[in-house]
Amino acid sequence: MADRGDLGWRVMAAGAAFAGGFVAKKAIAFAWKKSTGKEPPTNPESPEVALSEAIGWVVVMGIGMELARLMATRAAARQWAKGTGELPSHLRTEA
């Protein structure tokens, strides 16, 4: 069973990832609209969306969302380490 520190970290990391993803989605949609002049596709799976546009959107969103999740989790880990004095156990590197 998870100890309290592990549970606290999971809640903090999930919140950070959610917030990072929310901000990233808004920023990516804004950048898409600015660069293409069109709204991002709401349903890339639809045959009514051009294949090139659907692929472009999926690639940009996939990379952007994963980068946001990574950066948010790393920032949360730094804050966790400041507050507790150590990184969560699964983030420590064995030297």
User: Residue 89 in 3-state DSSP?
Assistant: helix
Q: How confident is the model at residue 1 (pLDDT cuts 50, 70, 90)?
A: very low
Q: Using a cut of 0.85, tell me whether the model's pTM lies above it.
A: no
pLDDT per position as a tens digit, 9-26: 889 899 999 999 999 999
Q: CB–CB of 50/41 below 8 Å?
A: no
And the tokens for 60? 């940009």
Cα 64-66-69 angle, rounded to 5 deg? 110
* Dmax (CA) of the chain: 53
Quote the mean pLDDT of the chain: 89
